[in-house]
Amino acid sequence: MFTALQHVLREKSRVLGRGRGIASGFSSSSASACQRLAGKVAVITGGASGIGKATAFEFVRNGAKVIIADVQDDLGRAVAAELGGPDAACYTHCDVSDESQVAAAVDLAVDRHGRLDVMFNNAGIGGDAAAPGPLASLDLGAFDRVMAVNARGALAGVKHAARVMVPRRRGSIVCTASTAGVLGTAGIAAYGVSKAAVVAVVRAAAAELGRSGVRVNAVSPHAVPTPLVMGTVARWFPGRSDEEMRRIVENMGEMEGTVLEAEDVARAALYLASDEAKYVNGHNLLVDGGYTVSKTPNMPAAP
């Protein structure tokens, strides 16, 4: 009975704690005493929208100071302001295909806060290479652009994060990959190749940097209704309404009654960034509801 009473009191405390949000305009799902990135400094590329934006909110909610690095200047500044302004977040323009801009984003974090604890290499594009059509018609110029942002940009982020993390013998680098980099997906060969390269970068970097106290991991979501994914779906299904396209993306999931959202991926990135994952290195965390664990075989139609 005493054990049951303890459980009831803990549950009451947990429920009451839900209403104690951070006073910066957004609510917190956890009490301030449980902030998992308290005092840490993070750079998030592609942080102005989609998964990056959701992760910026999750990181700040958990005590981090965030540098939002993106090419969407108006959106990036608005997100930084919504997160609480300079005390919690700031924005910097960063095209990750330009290594010097990635280096500058890392240097900004160090100049403002004295260090970098977390690097989330999240920026990515689908690009013209994600347009529907056979592989034989793939525009290699478009392929090069996707690789420059998705794969080379992630590598630049790993490189410059390591530059400031290794001397301190600590840090967490997280890269956004994709289920498209695990399973072949028709129609998006360039995107799939770029994300498979991200996983390879993570494994190579983890093997080297782990001995310096720096962890490198990937998070691979399945289809999430972000601007990037919605833009790709619009190319495949022209003329569909936003609501119809969102339903198409949501129906790509594997779990009945559950829809994958950007916030789910953000919480996975939070785990990998936090000290809770202190011995997780070189891992590709799939957030896909089981999409990649099996494939239905081609079977003859039932009689």
Query: Which residues are known to be catalytic?
Result: 191
Q: Which helix (H) or strand (E) holds 190?
A: helix 189-209
Q: What is the spatial distance between Cα 46 and Cα 225, in angstroms, rounded to a whole number?
A: 15
Backbone angles phi, psi at 197, to 5 degrees: -65, -35
Q: Is the Cβ–Cβ distance between 120 and 44 less than 8 Å?
A: yes
Strand order in the sheet with 284-287: 89-93, 65-70, 41-45, 118-121, 171-176, 214-221, 284-287
Q: CB count, 10 Å around CB of 250?
A: 15
> How many Å apart are CA 196 and CA 225, to the nearest integer?
21
Containing 146, the helix (H) or strand (E) segment is helix 140-147
Sequence-distant (≥ 6) Cβ neighbours of residue 189 within 8 angstroms: 129, 135, 138
Question: What are phi and psi for residue 166, nearest 5 degrees?
Answer: -60, -45
